Structure 1
Amino acid sequence: MTSVTENQLVGRSVARREDPRLLTGHGRFVDDIELPGMLHAQFVRSTVAHGLITAVDLTAVRRVPGVVAAFTAADLGLGDITARLDRPPAEFVPTAMPVLARDRVRYVGEPIAVVVARDPYAAEDGLEAARVTYESLPPVTCEEQALAPGAALVHEEAVRNTLVDVSLFATEGIDGIFENAPCVVRVEARTGRQNALPLETRGAVAQWDAREEQLVVHTCTQIPHQVRTVASRCLGLDERAVRVIVPDMGGGFGLKCVVGREEIAAAAAALRLRRPVKWIEDRKDALSASFLAREQHYTARAAFDADGRILGLDADVVCDMGAYSCYPFTAGIEPLMAAGEMPGVYKVPAYRVRGRAITTNKAPTAPYRGVSRPQYVMVVERLMERAARELDMDPLEIRRRNLITDFPYTGVNHITYDPGSYLESLDLCEQALKEAGWYDRQAAARAEGRHIGIGYSCFSERTGYGSAAFAARKMQVVPGFDLSEVRMDTGGAVTVTTGTMSHGQSHETTMAQIVADALGVDLAKVKLHQGDTDRITYGWGTFASRSITVGGSAVRRAAVKLGDKLRAIAAAEWGVPPEETELARGRVRRRDEPGIELTYEHLADIAYLKSHLLPEDIEPGLTATAAFDVTTDGTFSNATHGAVVELHEGTGQVEILAYVCVEDCGVAIHPQVVEGQCRGGIAQGIAGALFEQITYDAQGEPSATSFMDYKVPTAHEIPDVTIHHLETPCAFTETGAKGAGEGGTIGAPAAVLNAVNDALRATGVELDTTPITPETVHRALTSPALEQTR
């Protein structure tokens, strides 16, 4: 398609289309939905981490004033949610996750029964009356217990509590490389279990539509079509008989890109009662019983030559995935991500990795922003820092010697990296911190006995995963493509659909920018529809920074096809070839005579109201559909983060004084949105580095069930972030854009940890585990080694 690009919208920070609605209180979230005769649901949850259910007595529940019904799995006839990988039994063990636990519970908070009442307070009263008895079993609460010989089994079929065990990329001769290397460094790192913590907790409102013979489920999910599939299968309905609608959504971060049990159970209750049922997750359940992430253990070593060039990387990754595999990604999501992509931005000639997912008596794990990349980037960056110290090199120089600079580059992990600005981003980040005077301030502070450190992290973010990438993981359910429909009405207004799902990423604006540019219409003329399985043909939703790379590419393709049809109709009216026409701000005009033009309204009249004038080869209407899938290994955004921290001896607190991010996500559709994604991601990365963690006691009881115990940073702890943009357009997407959703989170833990270790240099202490607690920092700052330097 040929179009005029004056006043191009892509690349501009236009006013967000969502803001007037959201800022004036006209947003509509799940909990805003009120329906006639609506009931409220809550869940009887397990109070033990591991046990056999010997009895569930709901008799007293049903007598509680206001309670309408109480159901177990047997009452509702509910099935299981099972996610699978097409891998042999030695590599993958599937685990069925019942919608409601029947015979056995495997973590504190597991749903056993659903109580339905006239209001939320009566539902809570009903929970108090439930009586569940258990035969307790030994809980498995940590990696050491899970893998110990003779350990109690969370699932009988999972030998040594291992769900995934995959060894990859064993380069021939790698043992000899390590034996003969001039420098070998090691890191053992652990990262704490986290909650994705969206502002809006999970929730659903389900109702039976008798006229349409359809179960309608309003829920805050990132993957509406997958929720429809699972709900229909668990409830024994045709997919046509289930409609999933997502209203405005207050965050997801991956927690909502898997199918949860509660929305299925609430839907089953609505189907049974033929009355609307609402379930809203409270914060206690969200913290303790919802999907969690990040609990990982790395043992890694790297071999270097005497000039600081890496010779080999060898790693063992163990991810504690909790009690079950999530649907559709399975328990393999974290170890396979780490194992497949760990070499990252560096030229690693030899590689070996073992990735394992273990099961424990904890809430199950779902993807969370970054999915293992914050962890393995932290490990690799620690290896770089340690090698620099061993070889007496500048830590940035050793990175420069190992960064990929020639593209396309096919790594030892069989992934081809498209062009990026790895070296340029590092150089600019260092320059920014130097020009801001932080190196001079650090030297002055050290002379005063203060502890200021500067740390960096270099990384890439693989985005736009297509079907080929997910198929390589041997997922039985293979995400990848996206579909879009673009339709113009008789007034020239445009409606566009996307299978992606915004939960704060401004899709209503960015997708409209793409369409408006492709068709040459005003932004106000474009309206996006998303999150409705009856209106959207199919879609995989939003995760893994795929919305613009995959969804936006499908949208642009559909818009281009519609533009071609407009040109074909105009060309037929003029009697010229379509190649002699072009789009120009709501019109089609002659290329040879620009003064001759037809408005879109005129062409729409022909397409809809005077279709007898259309040539035989042009169908009536103005609608175009298109699909897009990434057939390459994907595209790679990249960045360098630099953090400046000060450690306070008296309290052990880590104060972040400055933070610089130099990022390259290709063409930024809306630069302000990209910066917002970056800042929000960095805040979450800092949270993981310094604050957030859920632990469990010996009985499997979670430590953090409120914000009194689960420490999250406020605006006071998150610094101002300076962002610099580089732009390497992507050759594989329709817009030149790469993904930007996860990069901030990926780079922050490593940058903060390296800065803390730089500040601790005089102590002789090095930290490799997050979160970094004040107690740990205080012990390091009061160590005898530090006293000897004074």
Structure 2
Amino acid sequence: MRQRETGPQDGGAQGGGRLIGRSVPRREDPRLLTGRGRFVDDIALPGMLHAQFVRSTVAHGEITAIDLSAVRAVPGVVAAYTADDLRLGDITAELARPRAEFVPTPMPVLARDRVRYVGEPVALVVARDAYAAEDGIEAARIGYTVHPPVTGEETALADGAPLVHADAPRNTLVDVAPFATDGIDEVFTAADHVVGVDVRTGRQNALPLETRGAVAHWDDREEQLVLHTCSQVPHLVRTVASRCLGLDERAVRVVVPDMGGGFGLKCVVGREEIAAAAAALRLRRPVKWIEDRKDALTASFLAREQHYTARAAFDATGRILALDADVVCDTGAYSCYPFTAGIEPLMAAAEMPGVYKVPAYRVRGRAIATNKAPTAPYRGVSRPQYVMVMERLFERAARELDLDPVEIRRRNLITEFPYTGVNGITYDPGSYRESLDLCERTLRAEGWYERAHAARAEGRYLGIGYSCFSERTGYGSAAFAQRKMTLVPGFDLSEVRMDPSGAVTVTTGTMSHGQSHETTMAQIVADELGLELAKVKLHQGDTDRVPYGWGTFASRSIAIGGSAVRLAAGRLGDKLRTLAAARWDIPVEETALGHGEVHRRDAPTTALPYRDLAELAYHRAHLLPKGIEPGLTATAAFDVSNDGTFSNATHGTVVELHTDTGQVEILRYVCVEDCGVAINPRVVEGQCRGGIAQGIAGALFEQVTYDAQGEPSATSFMDYKVPTAHEIPDVAVHHLQTPCAFTETGAKGTGEGGTIGAPAAVLNAVNDALRPTGTELDDIPITPETVHRALHPRHYQESAR
């Protein structure tokens, strides 16, 4: 095991690669920064029509009538469809679990008979331009019998509550209790200290810069429906489209152009792109749908609304003895495809112990249905929440035991690897203790502890907070199968091909939506083959060009996709060496790759350039030695058979609470991360900073709420409070490297860590600042009003009289 601190330009990488470990400039930037990117909304095809959706205005009700006659009479409207018109199959996500643990929720592409949330698509309007489509929507007449909506956990689980789905008793879609250590109650009874927390987190929108969208058309020559869409999982979109439309998968081609963010929202299959594709198939004309921002805020997939009730037992020295938790996730009206409503409670239940040595563990995880827009994975998936729960438990125990909050963490962090936890997961080597130590040293060296002490003496409220966590990445098929998914993601495929000029094209089943795959995947291939970076081009996001892939989510791209890419590049290199060895009539072992050539080991100045070998393989195949086929192509697959790999980090932050407004100002933010070998450290830093910004957003600003009728509150950025550059501090990122032993590059994932650690660090810092008041907060987002109440309790007590 090797751990060391590296800087942004550090060249350290397994094998001493000349490109892996270097912060080479992003190859995407010249195109994207000069407006030459091509996104879904940039696509304009001859004869293209525009689609929008008539959406439900009630949260829960039966559809009694749909009258689209006035819609069809609107100038410019070409067609209008209901569910009965399109007759599409439902989108249904399944788990192979008994009904006591999981209830599936078939999601119609257009609502039939019943609506279950405000914004649910009821009808599709297709027009010659986007304005006519909007006019058509206004002309629709929908009749409803309105039922009482289920708007939250208390309503959903109450006796006699209305049911969102008739076959889901108590509105419970998932109910699992995977761990219950024998004798855990006795452990709590005998413990020196027991602390508890009751934590709620707000519902959020992933808010990618580019909203969802699709352009679909029928290709007569290929007998194929072509669907351009901004999806993280193009092959899964193809599967769902083919099933809903009754087509062979070969007859559906999904193409993803440049994509302006996804964050998990786009790693599930939505209804709207399927409906747009169905209209294009019927009309035999291109159809475009672009989600407007209001629909994106209210009717798209949401995330995060969770409630944790947890307690932990500690001995007199501050060592944790047991953890007991109940997790309730409000997952909205339907299960998302393919992950189901189980993704959040199953993630939380399986991984809550995290970086700490927890000897005894009991947990129950539930997903409940409500009359709200359904949820999808969002960067981190429950980990920001359960990490916050664990960190709050340790902070509370530190106060009760009068221990330094950093020291109590040190006493409980996993330090010997591999470590198999009480949750049955084996953790590969990481730098849990080292990252905490470096983060604390950094804040102390910068003088923040002295500043906080001085500020308190002046009556100001400064606080310092930490969070320690791991990010499980590289989920392989075995890990997903443990969730009992009937559609099991995991592996990735890659093809590396050299053309007659010696240039290389590589495919990956992952899908970049801002992670710099065009750069980092090329770095891997160029290093493996000894090529210039400019000689390597990545292709992704096209189901006809990429054999198969599960897309990008759960920080899997470099860990799994990058491993497949390196294996395929290595096999291509073997072919080049075999071809050169045959030309020289020497053993393959006496050849080596480098600088765009195959060299003889016994005579390094004797070499065959790749271009010459490629011309031989393609243009003069008659000269190829017996047994060597024409062309230069190699493929490879990669999967992880164990529990995956774990990146880790510690975040430390300093905040000041403004007494007059209750505003929380972040003065300093330090991130110490270990994602194994960093293929491109600057890209890693970008992922950290972007994730931290989203974590801060969840901690302090963003929340979607609903009124008693199930109407969403945040329909624009006037109501949905998104932080700007002014609210996000400069983030210092320090790198540690503990190479992964079972990925091909030594890399672990890094896409979600920033978001995972930020809420806990910010909340702990706020509570440290509030220490003189005796008040502690456990819920996020932390609003200025909440802080102001904590700072001025007498004012509010007098106002209430």
Instruction: Kindly indicate whether residue 296 of structure 2 is the aligned counterpart of residue 255 of structure 1.
Output: no
Instruction: Kindly indicate whether residue 294 of structure 2 is the aligned counterpart of residue 284 of structure 1.
Output: yes
After superposition, what is the alpha-carbon deviation per residue over 1:268-327, rounded to whole angstroms, capped at 9, x for unaligned?
Answer: 000000000000000000000000000000000000000000000000000000000000
Is the 8 Å Cα contact of residues 763 and 785 (structure 1) preserved in structure 2? Answer: no
Match of 2:516 among 506, 518, 524: 506
Residue aligning to 1:585? 595
For 2:16 and 2:169, how far apart are their aligned partners in 1? 63
TM-score by structure 2 length?
0.97
1:615 Cα deviation after fit: 3.0
For 2:199 and 2:322, how far apart are their aligned partners in 1? 19
Map residues 386-785 of structure 1 onto 2, 5 A cutoff.
386-784=396-794
1:784 Cα deviation after fit: 4.8
Match of 1:319 among 326, 329, 346: 329
Residue aligning to 1:104? 114
Instruction: Kindly indicate whether residue 185 of structure 2 is the aligned counterpart of residue 175 of structure 1.
Output: yes
1:254 Cα deviation after fit: 0.1
For 1:88 and 1:217, how far apart are their aligned partners in 2? 36
Amino acid at match of 1:391: L
Amino acid at match of 2:471: E
Is the 8 Å Cα contact of residues 789 and 796 (structure 2) preserved in structure 1? Answer: no
Amino acid at match of 1:122: A
Q: Label 1:151 to 1:6 Cα distance change in 2 as closer, same or farther (>3 A).
A: closer
1:584 Cα deviation after fit: 1.2
After superposition, what is the alpha-carbon deviation per residue over 1:676-724, rounded to whole angstroms, capped at 9, x for unaligned?
Answer: 0000000000000000000000000000010000000000000010111
May I ask how many residue pairs the two structures share in their alignment? 785
After superposition, what is the alpha-carbon deviation per residue over 1:579-615, rounded to whole angstroms, capped at 9, x for unaligned?
Answer: 1100011100111111111111111122112222223
Partner SS for 2:350 = helix
Q: Label 1:322 to 1:445 Cα distance change in 2 as closer, same or farther (>3 A).
A: same
Residue aligning to 1:31? 41
Map residues 262-411 of structure 1 onto 2, 5 A cutoff.
262-411=272-421
For 2:727 and 2:382, how far apart are their aligned partners in 1? 24
Amino acid at match of 1:176: E
Q: Which runs of 4+ in 1 moved over 6 A?
A: 3-7
For 2:88 and 2:735, how far apart are their aligned partners in 1? 50
Partner SS for 1:317 = strand
For 2:742 and 2:149, how far apart are their aligned partners in 1? 48
Is the 8 Å Cα contact of residues 4 and 582 (structure 1) preserved in structure 2? Answer: no
Instruction: Kindly indicate whether residue 123 of structure 2 is the aligned counterpart of residue 113 of structure 1.
Output: yes
Match of 1:57 among 64, 67, 85: 67
Amino acid at match of 2:58: V
Instruction: Kindly indicate whether residue 22 of structure 2 is the aligned counterpart of residue 12 of structure 1.
Output: yes
Partner SS for 2:435 = helix
After superposition, what is the alpha-carbon deviation per residue over 1:214-248, rounded to whole angstroms, capped at 9, x for unaligned?
Answer: 00000000000000000000001110100000000
Map residues 145-224 of structure 1 onto 2, 5 A cutoff.
145-224=155-234
Is the 8 Å Cα contact of residues 101 and 174 (structure 2) preserved in structure 1? Answer: yes
For 1:146 and 1:169, how far apart are their aligned partners in 2? 25
Q: What are the ranges of 5 or more consecutive residues in structure 1 without an aligned counterpart?
A: none
Partner SS for 1:81 = coil
1:4 Cα deviation after fit: 13
1:616 Cα deviation after fit: 3.0
Q: Label 1:632 to 1:122 Cα distance change in 2 as closer, same or farther (>3 A).
A: same
Amino acid at match of 2:490: G
TM-score by structure 1 length?
0.99
Is the 8 Å Cα contact of residues 643 and 755 (structure 1) preserved in structure 2? Answer: yes
Q: Label 1:6 to 1:185 Cα distance change in 2 as closer, same or farther (>3 A).
A: closer
Farther-moved stretch of structure 1 (494-503 vs 4-13): 4-13
Q: What are the ranges of 5 or more consecutive residues in structure 2 without an aligned counterpart?
A: 1-12
For 2:581 and 2:110, how far apart are their aligned partners in 1? 61
After superposition, what is the alpha-carbon deviation per residue over 1:129-180, rounded to whole angstroms, capped at 9, x for unaligned?
Answer: 0000001111000000000011100000000000000001110100000010
Residue aligning to 2:3? none
For 1:612 and 1:491, how far apart are their aligned partners in 2? 18
Cα RMSD after superposing both structures: 1.3
Identical-residue share of aligned pairs (%): 82
Is the 8 Å Cα contact of residues 544 and 742 (structure 1) preserved in structure 2? Answer: yes
1:785 Cα deviation after fit: 12
After superposition, what is the alpha-carbon deviation per residue over 1:421-471, rounded to whole angstroms, capped at 9, x for unaligned?
Answer: 000000000000011110010011001100000000000000000000000
After superposition, what is the alpha-carbon deviation per residue over 1:532-576, rounded to whole angstroms, capped at 9, x for unaligned?
Answer: 000000000000000000000000000000000000001111111
For 2:619 and 2:732, how far apart are their aligned partners in 1? 54
For 1:233 and 1:4, how far apart are their aligned partners in 2? 44
Residue aligning to 1:124? 134
For 1:694 and 1:290, how far apart are their aligned partners in 2? 12
For 1:606 and 1:198, how far apart are their aligned partners in 2? 47
Partner SS for 1:344 = coil
1:15 Cα deviation after fit: 1.3
Partner SS for 1:583 = strand
